[in-house]
């Protein structure tokens, strides 16, 4: 809400600087979004008096005026307007002036005649709407005076955020009340003096409230002899400062009073109400209404409407109808001031997708007592500004007046909750100043009656908050709590996940962070198996591209790789640790699983002056996966897999025992193209929950060798189809306990070993815990290995 300082001063004295005021309001809970100095964009615009108006020698539509701005000599200004006469006072922008929109005024020639400034129309100095011609000022205004002080354009507007609990703050009086409490000064609520005359209201309009649950209070007045016309300058100024557009004196008064009191009002053209009746009822099936914003809206039977004898004329508390709108020809007005049930207004407003100043206030809870004041205040203003007659009497349907809540506060609880000892007298005084009525009090507690405007206060803690606000949060002391240990560990895996993240970063990988949403088609594009296509679908996604919750991180990572490659990134080594989602069967929510996914593309080793760059391949990915498995102490196997996500011959599923815990491979070319890349991309995804479940026991000590190792190389020729890793396994199993390790150090295929054959070179390391090995020992073990490989694979020593 926009709070004009000039306006606010009508209700409360403010003796502090704007900065200080903004701070004070902030510390009361009135958050300041911005401070706007209205006149800031208007400089050097003065009150000018037109001394003469002469024809332009070369232009029909331009006149040449001499304008006195109390300078040494009058200014010569060319002007295209027609509504001024000699002697008029007008806003005059002199050379060097600035107008809103950063429009700078310079000396210029118009058709050969010098013009030393510009006379302004209202809209040119940020005033009202489009008007024809110059703004003619009051002739009493002193010539040469700055237009900003004359027209109140020197105002400062504080934009405040009103929290949803404080409907009472959404008004000038509400804000002023808070400041008057802070300052201990008087709140000036304007006194209303209206003169009832002419007919009795009952003869002009009949009101029936059918649903008093949704409309606990309904008030109305009728005004006759209304003259609809433009509002006076002071009213326009107030509305403009509040960010509202002046329309006509009737609408402007209802808007003004809404801003002043927080009570939404509505003015009906009584002559448009069938049977001169107001019926407050719920909508009927099939009913619709043309609202003021030009839309036709369907009503339902849970929406409260203000109807006439036949059709709805207003969506109660939300927006009026176009049919009974006040227009130029309106002469009789029915003015409504009501209290509608907050929940009902909120529901209707949401149901129609229609939010208004009125609905926002009603849904937070208006003040049923303010309804009466606001009605009279508006009637008075219309009486004065539209020379209207206020009909005799007021309609007030309030069958069950709202009963103020009574709340007890134990003084000791204030200390318990705030950690500061506020004296009981101070506690009572704070609440009294805020308008709470002390019903009773003794040494330990007090009982207060809560003003009806305070929908947010219903319990002791609410009162303590009020005391704390006035005490000022800044003055509450600072202490550190003694945190006692909790009996339960809530997320035992979190530390391990963090350690794992650091481990992955230690492998040189960068961490990615994708949205949990996914494009429903990306699972297909990545050719993931059917099981991934069962996804959680959002009812109201941001767009179709984020309509599902991801079932795998793989598509996102392929997409990330493709985009980065297309940006020209040459090396992509990255991972994501995060959740994937699956719809659950039955009533359960859904299931959420942690995954770790890797992506490699481009160079794994950058080019260096000492060696060329090396592009990523399958074994880089496998090495990373192996490192991950080792990190968790997991022994997994890699089995050739199928499916179209990965390229044939470079794809594997990763199994822990019989359970598949992951998938990996080189992304198939077709999939890569579907993600906009034709470069090789390698991706793996593992079930992090399964890895975390491995829970390796602490490693146990093994004696450190004291005798030297002895190494032998063994190269054998076998069929090219023999899996080399398996051969290595067999070798390792067959060397007896002296054989400590077997590593493959070369694979060779070529003419020398014959077609369909390959040479596998192994490095065998032998070692004993008891003695230094002899040539004879190692030869014996070596022979055993060779014999086994000959037997298993018809291997020949090379």
Rule CB under 8 A: which of 422-461 touch another protein?
Answer: 456, 459-461
Q: Say how far apart CA 166 and CA 188 lie, in whole Å.
A: 21
Residue 471 CB, nearest distance to another protein (Å)? 10
Among 20, 34, 402, 725, indicate the residue that binds another protein (CB under 8 A): 34
By C-alpha distance, which of 148, 248, 141, 183 is closest to 25?
183
Edge to edge, the sheet with strand 739-748 lists 739-748, 757-766, 710-719, 796-797
Between residues 77 and 452, which has the closer beta carbon with respect to another protein?
452
Residue 576 φ/ψ region, left for φ over 0, alpha for ψ in the -120 to 50 degree band, beta for the rest: beta
Among 403, 513, 698, 702, indicate the residue that binds another protein (CB under 8 A): 513
Residue 548 CB, nearest distance to another protein (Å)? 10
Are the C-beta atoms of 68 and 51 separated by less than 8 Å? yes
Touching another protein, residues 769-798 (CB under 8 A): none
Is the four-CA dihedral 763, 768, 772, 775 of positive or negative sign?
negative
Among 369, 465, 644, 792, indicate the residue that binds another protein (CB under 8 A): 465
Residue 71 engages another protein in binding (rule: CB under 8 A): no
Residue 213 engages another protein in binding (rule: CB under 8 A): no
* Residue 405: both structure tokens together: 């809540």
Residue 476 engages another protein in binding (rule: CB under 8 A): yes
Residue 478 engages another protein in binding (rule: CB under 8 A): yes
Among 244, 249, 282, 564, indicate the residue that binds another protein (CB under 8 A): 564
Choices 214-222, 496-504, 658-666, 776-784 (CB under 8 A): range interacting with another protein: 496-504
Between residues 35 and 187, which has the closer beta carbon with respect to another protein?
35
Angle at 208 between CA 202 and CA 214, to 5 degrees: 140
Residue 620 engages another protein in binding (rule: CB under 8 A): no
Choices 61-69, 117-125, 326-334, 571-579 (CB under 8 A): range interacting with another protein: 571-579
Between residues 332 and 571, which has the closer beta carbon with respect to another protein?
571
Choices 289-297, 388-396, 479-487, 716-724 (CB under 8 A): range interacting with another protein: 479-487
Residue 477 engages another protein in binding (rule: CB under 8 A): yes
Touching another protein, residues 717-746 (CB under 8 A): none
Residue 402 CB, nearest distance to another protein (Å)? 18
Among 59, 420, 715, 761, indicate the residue that binds another protein (CB under 8 A): 420
Residue matched to tokens 């010569």: 76
Task: Report DSSP letters for 581-607, one per residue.
Answer: EEPPSTTS--EEEEEEEEEEEEEEE--
Choices 75-83, 277-285, 530-538, 758-766 (CB under 8 A): range interacting with another protein: 530-538
Is the four-CA dihedral 649, 651, 652, 653 of positive or negative sign?
negative
Is the four-CA dihedral 559, 560, 561, 563 of positive or negative sign?
positive
Residue matched to tokens 């926009």: 2
Q: Say how far apart CA 189 and CA 66 lie, in whole Å.
A: 46
Residue 692 engages another protein in binding (rule: CB under 8 A): no
Residue 292 CB, nearest distance to another protein (Å)? 22
Residue 26 engages another protein in binding (rule: CB under 8 A): yes
Among 16, 542, 693, 797, indicate the residue that binds another protein (CB under 8 A): 542
Residue 601 CB, nearest distance to another protein (Å)? 11
Choices 48-56, 130-138, 432-440, 566-574 (CB under 8 A): range interacting with another protein: 566-574
Residue 489 CB, nearest distance to another protein (Å)? 7
Q: Say how far apart CA 451 and CA 457 lie, in whole Å.
A: 9
Residue 366 engages another protein in binding (rule: CB under 8 A): no
Residue 499 engages another protein in binding (rule: CB under 8 A): no
Between residues 161 and 719, which has the closer beta carbon with respect to another protein?
161
Residue 763 engages another protein in binding (rule: CB under 8 A): no
Distances (CA, A) of 139 to 146, 232, 294: 15, 16, 41
Residue 589 engages another protein in binding (rule: CB under 8 A): yes
Touching another protein, residues 261-300 (CB under 8 A): none
Q: Say how far apart CA 387 and CA 333 lie, in whole Å.
A: 13
Among 106, 419, 657, 754, indicate the residue that binds another protein (CB under 8 A): 419
Between residues 40 and 138, which has the closer beta carbon with respect to another protein?
40
Touching another protein, residues 38-67 (CB under 8 A): none
The number of residues that bind another protein (CB under 8 A) is: 98
DSSP code at position 141: S
Q: Say how far apart CA 291 and CA 297 lie, in whole Å.
A: 7
Touching another protein, residues 159-178 (CB under 8 A): 163-166
The three-class DSSP label of residue 655 is strand
Touching another protein, residues 143-162 (CB under 8 A): none
By C-alpha distance, which of 367, 27, 360 is closest to 173?
367
Burial class (CB in 10 A: 0-12, 13-18, 19+), 174: buried
Task: Report DSSP letters for 699-712, one per residue.
Answer: PPP-PPP-S--EEE
Residue 468 engages another protein in binding (rule: CB under 8 A): yes
Touching another protein, residues 319-358 (CB under 8 A): 342-343, 346-347
Q: Say how far apart CA 151 and CA 157 lie, in whole Å.
A: 15
Between residues 114 and 301, which has the closer beta carbon with respect to another protein?
301
Helices 357-364/249-261 angle, 10° precision: 30
Burial class (CB in 10 A: 0-12, 13-18, 19+), 130: exposed
Choices 143-151, 240-248, 273-281, 469-477 (CB under 8 A): range interacting with another protein: 469-477
By C-alpha distance, which of 383, 464, 457 is closest to 193?
383
Helices 357-364/342-352 angle, 10° precision: 140
Among 490, 585, 704, 770, indicate the residue that binds another protein (CB under 8 A): 490
Are the C-beta atoms of 220 and 334 separated by less than 8 Å? yes
Helix (H) or strand (E) holding 497: helix 494-506
Residue 537 engages another protein in binding (rule: CB under 8 A): yes
Q: Say how far apart CA 580 and CA 245 lie, in whole Å.
A: 50
């Amino acid at each position: 809400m926009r709070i004009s300082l000039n306006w606010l001063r009508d209700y409360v004295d403010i003796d502090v600087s704007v900065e200080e005021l903004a701070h004070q309001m902030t510390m009361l809970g009135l958050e300041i979004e911005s401070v706007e100095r209205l006149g800031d964009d208007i400089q050097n615009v003065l009150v000018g008096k037109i001394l003469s108006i002469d024809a332009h020698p070369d232009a029909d539509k331009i006149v040449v005026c001499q304008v006195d701005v109390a300078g040494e000599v009058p200014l010569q200004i060319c002007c295209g307007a027609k509504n001024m006469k000699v002697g008029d006072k007008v806003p005059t922008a002199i050379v060097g002036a600035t107008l809103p929109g950063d429009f700078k005024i310079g000396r210029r020639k118009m058709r050969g005649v010098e013009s030393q400034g510009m006379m302004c129309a209202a809209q040119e100095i940020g005033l009202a709407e489009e008007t024809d011609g110059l703004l003619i000022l009051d002739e009493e205004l002193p010539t040469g005076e700055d237009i900003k002080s004359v027209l109140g354009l020197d105002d400062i507007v504080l934009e405040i955020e009103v929290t949803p609990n404080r409907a009472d703050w959404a008004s000038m009086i509400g804000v002023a009340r808070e400041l008057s409490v802070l300052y201990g000064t008087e709140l000036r609520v304007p006194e209303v003096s209206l003169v009832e005359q002419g007919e009795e209201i009952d003869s002009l309009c009949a009101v029936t409230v059918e649903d008093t649950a949704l409309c606990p209070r309904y008030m109305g007045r009728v005004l006759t002899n209304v003259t609809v016309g433009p509002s006076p300058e002071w009213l326009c100024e107030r509305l403009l400062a509040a960010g509202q557009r002046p329309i006509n004196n009737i609408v402007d008064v209802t808007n003004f009073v809404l801003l002043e009191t927080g009570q939404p009002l509505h003015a009906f053209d009584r002559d448009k109400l069938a049977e001169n009746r107001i019926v407050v009822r719920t909508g009927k099936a099939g009913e619709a209404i043309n609202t003021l914003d030009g839309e036709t809206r369907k009503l339902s039977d849970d929406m409260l409407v203000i109807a006439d004898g036949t059709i709805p004329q207003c969506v109660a508390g939300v927006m009026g109808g176009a049919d009974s709108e006040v227009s130029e020809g309106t002469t009789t007005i029915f003015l409504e001031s009501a209290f509608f049930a907050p929940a009902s207004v909120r529901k209707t407003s949401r149901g129609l997708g229609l939010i208004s100043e009125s609905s926002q206030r009603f849904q937070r809870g208006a003040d049923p007592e303010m309804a009466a004041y606001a009605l009279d205040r508006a009637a008075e203003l219309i009486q004065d500004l539209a020379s209207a007659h206020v009909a005799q009497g007021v309609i007030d349907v309030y069958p069950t007046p709202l009963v103020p809540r009574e709340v007890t506060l134990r003084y000791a609880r204030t200390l318990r909750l705030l950690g500061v000892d506020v004296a009981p007298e101070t506690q009572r005084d704070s609440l009294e100043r805020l308008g709470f009525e002390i019903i009773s009090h003794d040494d330990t507690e007090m009982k207060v009656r809560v003003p009806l405007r305070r929908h947010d206060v219903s319990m002791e803690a609410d009162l303590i908050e009020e005391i704390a606000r006035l005490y000022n949060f800044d003055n509450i002391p600072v202490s550190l709590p003694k945190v006692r240990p909790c009996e339960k560990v809530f997320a035992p895996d979190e530390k391990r996940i963090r350690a794992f993240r650091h481990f992955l970063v230690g492998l040189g990988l960068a961490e990615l962070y994708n949205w949990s949403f996914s494009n429903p088609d990306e699972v297909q594009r990545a050719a993931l198996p059917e099981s991934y296509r069962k996804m959680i679908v959002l009812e109201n996604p941001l767009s179709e591209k984020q309509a599902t919750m991801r079932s795998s991180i793989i598509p996102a990572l392929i997409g990330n790789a493709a985009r980065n490659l297309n940006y020209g990134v040459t090396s992509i080594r990255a991972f994501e640790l995060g959740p994937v989602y699956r719809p659950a069967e039955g009533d359960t929510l859904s299931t959420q699983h942690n995954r770790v996914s890797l992506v490699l593309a481009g160079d794994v080793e950058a080019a260096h002056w000492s060696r060329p760059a090396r592009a990523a391949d399958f074994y880089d990915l496998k090495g990373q996966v192996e490192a991950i498995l080792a990190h968790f102490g997991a022994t997994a196997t890699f089995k050739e897999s199928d499916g179209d996500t990965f390229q044939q011959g470079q794809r594997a599923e990763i199994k822990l025992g019989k359970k598949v815990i992951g998938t990996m491979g080189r992304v198939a070319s077709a999939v890569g193209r579907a993600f906009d890349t034709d470069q090789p991309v390698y991706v793996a995804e593992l079930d992090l929950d399964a890895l975390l479940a491995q829970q390796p026991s602490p490693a146990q000590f093994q004696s450190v060798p004291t005798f030297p190792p002895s190494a032998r190389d063994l190269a054998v020729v076998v069929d090219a189809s023999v899996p080399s890793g398996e051969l290595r396994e067999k070798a390792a199993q067959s060397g007896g306990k002296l054989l400590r390790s077997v590593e493959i150090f070369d694979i060779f295929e070529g003419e020398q070993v014959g077609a369909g054959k390959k040479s596998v070179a192994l490095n065998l390391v032998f070692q004993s815990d008891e003695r230094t090995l002899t040539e004879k020992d190692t030869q014996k073990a070596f022979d055993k290995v060779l014999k086994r490989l000959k037997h298993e694979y018809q291997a020949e020593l090379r």
